[in-house]
């Protein structure tokens, strides 16, 4: 597949087609976008050059790829990004090659990220919400392994950056970041890195891997997330609408779990099971309050035998993270967990970072310090 990048160098912006590469069969193909000159091309950029500077050059400039979902947050992300560009250029332009890429649809950010890493980018920065971040994180991996720089002599890996501009931005909450894009740009300018863990999800065929950086969840909350994705135009209200729709016809289910490759155990009447690499999901709900993306462990929180009125009465505790002391709520620290639907109905929803992944069974494992993140 061929990807297109919008590249900003020396004040000019041009769409540059990246080299073709194979695409995972599970992904929907993204159509090639016709290259279009938006502003005069920088004089030192020829059509057959890499989008990044020559690795043999003595230039200390960092190559930064900003991946933007212009339709995120009902179009607000694209508008905010345009307003932010002058400050970004003034803050980073002296020391960085700024490459801007607008996604054209689902999964495009995955492909762009992989190509950027192979080309030797210093950092790939997700601009948007948790959905864009989720795709960029998945782009750091290919066929169950980390994507690597084509230059085998490179000593520095590509880092992950984030400018939160989306609907939820739940992962940023865990890091204690304000929803301030200028503050995020200042972090990127400093370039300080810290390793973060990533979760990997496999189905019945372990050859099919999916990655997440925030929270994966099962049953009611995953079903609510599935419906909420249809109402993103309403902002954070989409999570409330999704939850109300998910409750219609909902039944608590018996599940089997296997923790850390141990023995199978039964969890009766499960309402929701959440696997947290970070703390928040659903637009600010502190569902796994003890999770830490640099701990090397997940926090697993299980809600059992909840009725609709339990959520109304205890909603404030779910948001402030004090629900672990509530009856029928349990928590444990794990490095892996397998989950199966005892009934075998194939109708128990699974999602990660707000993205619908299908249905049980699934296995979740932690990958400690899998990515370096600009913090």
List, in order of start, the domains of the chain with CATH numbers: 62-191 (3.40.50.10330), 215-369 (2.60.200.40)
Residue indicated by tokens 């192979």: 118
Mean pLDDT, residues 36-41: 29
Give the per-residue pLDDT at 25: 32
User: What are the residues facing 101 on neighbouring strands?
Assistant: 67
pTM for this one? 0.83
Residue whose C-alpha is closest to residue 76's, from 235, 184, 230: 235
pLDDT digits 0-9 by tens, 304-354: 999 989 988 998 999 999 999 999 999 999 999 999 999 989 999 999 999
Mean pLDDT, residues 174-192: 95
Confidence of residue 243 (pLDDT cuts 50, 70, 90): confident
Please tell me which residue in 63, 111, 122, 130 is annotated as part of the active site: 130
Distance separating alpha carbons of residues 233 and 80, to the nearest angstrom:
16
Strand ranges (DSSP E) for 12-157?
12-17, 62-68, 96-102, 123-128, 141-142, 145-146
Give the per-residue pLDDT at 7: 41
Residue 130 known to be catalytic: yes
- Percentage above 90 pLDDT, the chain: 67
In degrees, rounded to 5, the angle at the alpha carbon of residue 67 between the alpha carbons of residues 62 and 72 is: 150
Distance separating alpha carbons of residues 27 and 319, to the nearest angstrom:
34
How many residues would you count in the chain?
375
Cis peptide before 361 (omega within 30 of 0): yes
Give the per-residue pLDDT at 178: 87
User: What are the residues facing 200 on neighbouring strands?
Assistant: 211, 365
User: What are the residues facing 96 on neighbouring strands?
Assistant: 62
Where does residue 184 rank: exposed (0-12), middle (13-18), buried (19+ CB within 10 A)? buried
Pick the range with the lowest mean pLDDT from 3-12, 21-30, 365-374: 21-30
Distance separating alpha carbons of residues 375 and 373, to the nearest angstrom:
6
pLDDT digits 0-9 by tens, 205-229: 766 899 999 999 999 999 998 988 8
Burial 228-259 (b: 16+ CB within 10 A, else e): bbeebeeeeebbbebbebbeeebebbebebeb
Distance separating alpha carbons of residues 375 and 362, to the nearest angstrom:
31
Helix (H, G, I), strand (E, B) or coil at 177: coil
pLDDT digits 0-9 by tens, 258-307: 999 999 999 999 999 999 999 999 889 999 999 999 999 999 999 999 99
């Amino acid at each position: 597949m061929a990807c297109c990048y919008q590249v900003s160098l020396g004040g000019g912006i041009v769409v540059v087609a990246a080299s073709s590469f194979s695409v995972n069969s599970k992904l929907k193909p993204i159509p090639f976008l016709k290259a279009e000159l938006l502003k005069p091309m920088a004089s030192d950029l020829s059509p057959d050059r890499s989008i990044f500077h020559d690795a043999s050059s003595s230039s200390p400039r960092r190559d930064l790829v900003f991946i933007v979902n212009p339709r995120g947050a009902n179009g607000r992300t694209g508008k905010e990004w345009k307003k932010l560009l002058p400050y970004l250029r003034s803050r980073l332009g002296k020391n960085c090659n700024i490459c801007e890429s607008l996604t054209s649809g689902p999964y495009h950010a995955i492909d762009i990220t992989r190509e950027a890493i192979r080309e030797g980018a210093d950092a790939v920065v997700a601009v948007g919400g948790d959905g864009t971040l989720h795709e960029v994180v998945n782009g750091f991996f290919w066929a169950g392994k980390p994507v690597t720089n084509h230059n085998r002599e490179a000593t520095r890996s590509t880092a992950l950056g984030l400018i939160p501009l989306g609907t939820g931005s739940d992962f940023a909450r865990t890091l204690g970041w304000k929803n301030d894009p200028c503050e995020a740009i200042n972090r990127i300018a400093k370039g300080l890195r810290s390793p973060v863990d990533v979760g990997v999800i496999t189905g019945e065929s372990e050859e099919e891997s999916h990655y997440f950086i925030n929270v994966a969840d099962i049953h009611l909350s995953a079903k609510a997330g599935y419906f909420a994705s249809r109402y993103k135009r309403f902002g954070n209200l989409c999570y409330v609408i999704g939850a109300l729709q998910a409750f219609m016809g909902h039944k608590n289910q018996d599940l089997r779990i296997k923790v850390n490759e141990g023995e199978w155990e039964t969890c009766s009447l499960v309402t929701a099971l959440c696997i947290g690499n970070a703390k928040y999901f659903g637009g600010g709900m502190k569902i796994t309050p003890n999770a830490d993306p640099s701990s090397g462990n997940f926090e697993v929180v299980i809600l059992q035998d909840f009725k609709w009125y339990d959520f109304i009465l205890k909603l404030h505790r779910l948001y402030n993270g004090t629900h672990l002391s509530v009856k029928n709520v349990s928590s444990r620290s794990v490095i892996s967990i397998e989950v199966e639907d005892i009934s075998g109905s194939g109708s128990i929803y699974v999602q990660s970072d707000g993205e619908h992944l299908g249905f049980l069974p699934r296995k979740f494992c932690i990958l400690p310090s899998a990515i370096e993140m600009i913090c």
